[in-house]
Amino acid sequence: MKPIFHKPDRIFLILIVFAAYLFGAEIPYSKQIRIIDFNKEQLPKEIIVKGTISECVKFADAKGTHILVVTEYVNGEYMTPSYVSEIFAGDFLETDSKYHLLWKIWDSSNSVDATVGYEKGSLKIFDLDSNGIADSRFFYSIVKEGADPETLKYMMHLNTIKLAIRGEIPVEDDPKQYQKNIDKAFEQIPLNIKKIASDDWDNFINTKFDILKRK
């Protein structure tokens, strides 16, 4: 398939995205990525997920048609040995008229007194490097009973490369306890994408927790 944009155009688009982030703008949707009207009741039968669907999106890019699903799973009674709290995310790509798993993320609270939960509305689809292949990001948190700070995780996929930012967010306690840890995997990709992801994290933190203003 011929590229939609020539190389100079792609460079120009990357510069536009980077410049926008210097001024605190949100990650834009790319014109090369098409979001398709879809709801969870339309999920194809071959896509089997664990738990309750928190959010899903259908989109098309240079690879084909995708369905990205985020689910939450809880089993057992809270604060008992059988209690389990998990989150799952998977990108399913349509090939040969069926959807097949392209990548997945799984995590657990690993504690009977903690809950892992998707941050509602945080799933975004975009194209950071303007190559016609969709990228994505979402947030989820792990909250332990009676504990502050809470753990927040930012999961980005640049095509199929998993990138993460993890932090400790003091909701009520001293804001000096705030931590932000950027995955070393970001060192292997263009610097401007690390900058965009870091700013994206900061924008979310400021919007939900107001933590950076309290420091």
In single-letter form, the type of residue at position 210 comes to D
Output the CA–CA distances (angstroms, integers) from residue 127 to 59, 62, 135, 148, 158, in the order listed: 12, 11, 5, 35, 8
Give the predicted TM-score (pTM) of the model.
0.82
Residue 1 lies in a domain: no
Distance CA 62, CA 1 (A): 8
Give the Å distances, CA to CA, from 109 to 21, 78, 86, 154.
32, 12, 6, 15
161: containing domain: 7-214
- Rounded to an integer, the average pLDDT of 10-16 is 43
Question: Is the pLDDT confidence value at 62 over 70?
Answer: yes
Instruction: Name which residue leads in pLDDT, 15 or 109.
Output: 109
**Does any domain span residue 2?**
no
> So what's the pLDDT on residue 19?
41
66 falls within a domain? yes
Structure confidence at residue 27 (pLDDT): 58
Average pLDDT, the chain: 85
CA 92, CA 63: separation in Å to the nearest integer? 11
- What pLDDT, on the 0 to 100 scale, is given for residue 59? 97
Q: pLDDT (tens digit, 9 = 90+) per residue, 188-205?
A: 998 899 999 999 999 998
The domain tally of the chain equals 1
CA distance linking residue 15 with residue 95, whole number of Å: 33
Cβ density class 22-46: b for 16+ within 10 Å, e for less = eeeeebeebebbeeeeeeeeebeee
